[in-house]
Chain A
Amino acid sequence: MIGKRRETIGNTLMLLPLILLFIAFFIYPLLYVIYTSLFEWNGFTRPDFVGIGNYGNLFRNVVFQTSARNNVVWVFSLGFLQVGLAALAAFILARKPKGWRFLRTVYFLPRVISAVAIALLWQTIYNAEYGALNAILSRIAGYPIRHNWLGSYGTALPAIVVQQVFYIGYFMIIVFASTTTIPRSYYEAAEMDGATTFQQERYITLPMARNTLVTSMTLAMAYGMRHFEPTFLMTGGGPGHSTSVLGLMMYKRIAQTKLGDAAAIGTLLVAIGFTLIMTIRRLLRGETYER
């Protein structure tokens, strides 16, 4: 009896740190960010209750509109372009061409390098006067090209998007892993029936990997919503506010000590992120090809 009680106390003590940390850094912040979004607050003096006023002001704000529009660009670029490019690479690598292990490892490499390092590197590549991109283009064109990729309205957003979209490692690995669960016999049977490689990919791999593709798209879209570091580091949202995203606007509002506004943006990010994931999960339910 005493042993049983000692066991219960021991269990509770071992579980407690995780519960406390989880409440402090996940549950409490979730409630806190929603609550704070209803106040006008500079972080020091007494907060003023404004109801949903912060949201109203945000929706009318031009920077907010631009940022939200850019988030949509990110959601679609990552969700469709990046996942599409990643899936293409995964399908090719799944057939184990020469050097596939090496390629898989290198494709993933940028993922373990910090956003800061990647951003500073690409900022220099895109630099107008001594950037590698202009140097290469100048050599091809035969005359000097001095385009300011990150400083011009037309090219700043596409430049960051392109840089991010081709780092396919993460989703390539996820899709690749799902293709390894497809039985070899399916392909052998198709081969005997005279199906071309393309037909095999189209009618076997694609439907079999469908769930994983949708999961990847959902994840990528969620990343598109919370996009922050690359843009913050490469353009700071400029030129003007043309490359701003919601995460960046939130950070700037905190820097201006407008914590209520920032919390409202934070709340929107959580809400939209959750809705995105849940909607797509619901759409998927009952349509399983895998396992």
Chain B
Amino acid sequence: MNDRLSLGSRGMRRSAVGAAAGLIAKWAYLLFLLGFALIPLLWLLVTSLKTQGEFLTYPLSLPETPRFSNYVTAFQMARLHVLLINSIITASFATVLNLSVTAAAAFVLTRQRVRWAPAVNGVILLGVLIPIISFMVPYLSLVRAIKLYNTRAALILVYAAINLPISYFIVSTFMREIPRSLEEAAVIEGASSFQRLVRVILPLSTAGLLTAGTLCFIYAWNEFAYALLLTSSSAVRTVQLGISFFNTQFRSDYPAMFAAIAVAMVPTVTAYVMLHDRIIGGLTAGAIKG
């Protein structure tokens, strides 16, 4: 073996060494990225089970005994249940509103003969390019004008609206693929367009609606800037806004703060674990086609 190697050309040996180095570099990079994505989150979970004393003296160690009571503290100190209920209401209603509006419009624009459908299509998709953050002044004025400042309704409207272009993109792509023949039977029976949407098209677009809905829910659950701008009282505060204040509130209890953050991550991480391919596909579809 040794002999054959030494007899072989220099180039061969060099390329074998090069391949080994390449393999090591490749895996070092992949594992570094894995660690970067995962270790901070694991550290967060581990820290959420420590005592404040353990955390301050040994930030990197495991807890002596896991203290699940930090989670109880988080609920008591931060009224986490109120924040969570607000987020659930806001994100759910925003998603339902967004999907109803999108599904109805996508049905008309993709499956009915509407002359200016392509123009409307194009304008809605241009909405993806707008940096929504630059609409802080208009949204604030608008929400004040319709007397919804500091309400969950304001956030529901804004989140549903912001997600219109991406949802429309996903749902209309699905609806376009449904064969005409499936709708024709309903047409012959004299079903109205609304009946055809509900009875034929919606059941066949479930996958698209699920993707768009999941993305809208995740967006609404995680959104921060407009929750900060459009609400002011703790009664309507969402969980993201709530935990953003923890930093000052929880100075004395970091593990409890981490417990609260962990709880706030549960819905989106659960959705991701169950539906990751769908979520990845939906979030990147716009970028790939656009």
User: Does B associate with A?
Assistant: yes
Binding site for B on A (CB under 8 A): 3, 6-7, 10-11, 14-15, 17-19, 21-22, 24-26, 28-30, 32-33, 36, 43, 85, 88-89, 92-93, 97, 103-117, 119-125, 129-132, 135-136, 139, 166-170, 173-174, 177-178, 196-198, 212, 215-216, 219, 222, 225-226, 228-229, 232-233, 247, 250-251, 254, 259, 262-263, 265-267, 269-270, 273-274, 277
A6–B108 CB distance below 8 A: no
Please state if B244 and A170 are interface contacts (CB–CB under 8 Å). Answer: no
Q: A26-B130, A117-B265, A121-B261 provided; 20 other pairs, C-beta below 8 A? A: A7-B193, A14-B105, A14-B194, A24-B142, A28-B138, A30-B130, A88-B29, A109-B269, A120-B261, A121-B43, A124-B254, A132-B40, A196-B15, A228-B133, A247-B133, A250-B133, A265-B134, A267-B134, A273-B134, A274-B129
B141 within 8 A of A: yes
A17 touches B104 (CB 8 A): yes
Stretch with Cβ within 8 A of A (4 or more), from B1-9, B62-70, B275-283: B275-283
Q: Pick the residue among A88, A104, A121 that contacts B40 (CB under 8 A).
A: A121
Q: Does B136 contact A (CB under 8 A)?
A: yes
Known contacts A11-B114, A14-B193, A174-B288, A22 near B224 by CB under 8 Å: no
Give 1 or 0 for each of B232-252: 1 = CB within 8 Å of chain A CB.
Answer: 000000001101101100000
Tell me if A21 and B160 are in contact (CB < 8 A): yes
**A-B residue pairs in contact (CB < 8 Å), sample of 24:** A10-B193, A15-B105, A18-B102, A18-B105, A19-B120, A24-B161, A25-B164, A29-B135, A33-B135, A92-B26, A103-B30, A109-B41, A114-B264, A116-B222, A121-B261, A125-B40, A130-B254, A177-B288, A215-B290, A228-B225, A259-B140, A262-B136, A265-B134, A269-B133
Residues of B close to A177: CB separation below 8 A: 284, 288
**What are the 5 closest A-B residue pairs judged by CB atoms, nearest first?**
A29-B138, A18-B105, A25-B161, A114-B222, A266-B134
Partner of A132, one of B37, B59, B218: B59
Residues of A within 8 A of B140 (CB): 43, 254, 259
Judge if B287 is at the interface, Cβ distance under 8 Å.
yes
Q: Are A121 and B44 in contact (CB under 8 A)?
A: yes
**In the complex, A15→B105 CA distance in Å?**
4
Interface of B: prevailing SS: helix
Identify whether the interface residues of A are mostly helix, strand, loop, or mixed.
helix
Q: Measured between alpha carbons, how far is A198 from B25 in the docked complex, in Å?
A: 13
**Min C-beta distance of B239 to chain A, whole Å:** 9
Interface size for chain B: under 10, 10 to 19, 20 to 34, or 35 or more residues? 35 or more
| Residue B158 is within 8 A (CB to CB) of chain A in the complex | yes
Within 8 Å of chain A (Cβ to Cβ): is B55?
A: yes
Residues in B with CB closer than 8 Å to A17 are 100-101, 104-105
Return chain B residues, CB-CB under 8 Å to A247.
133-134
Inside 8 A of B265's CB, which chain A residues have their CB? 113-114, 117
Which residues of chain A have C-beta atoms less than 8 A from B162's C-beta? Answer: 25
Instruction: Determine the chain A residues whose CB is within 8 A of the CB of B218 once the complex forms.
Output: 112
Please give the distance in Å from A232's CB to the nearest CB on chain B.
Answer: 8
Task: Tell me if B287 and A216 are in contact (CB < 8 A).
Answer: yes
Residue B137 is within 8 A (CB to CB) of chain A in the complex: yes
Name B37's contact: one of A107, A233, A263 (CB within 8 Å): A107
Is B71 on the interface with A (CB-CB < 8 A)?
no
Distance in angstroms from A197 CB to nearest chain B CB is 7
Q: Verify if B93 is at the interface (C-beta below 8 Å from A).
A: no
| A89-B29 contact given A116-B244, A254-B137, CB 8 Å threshold | yes
Interface residue ranges of B254-284 to A (CB < 8 Å): 254, 257-258, 261, 264-265, 268-269, 271-272, 276, 279-280, 283-284
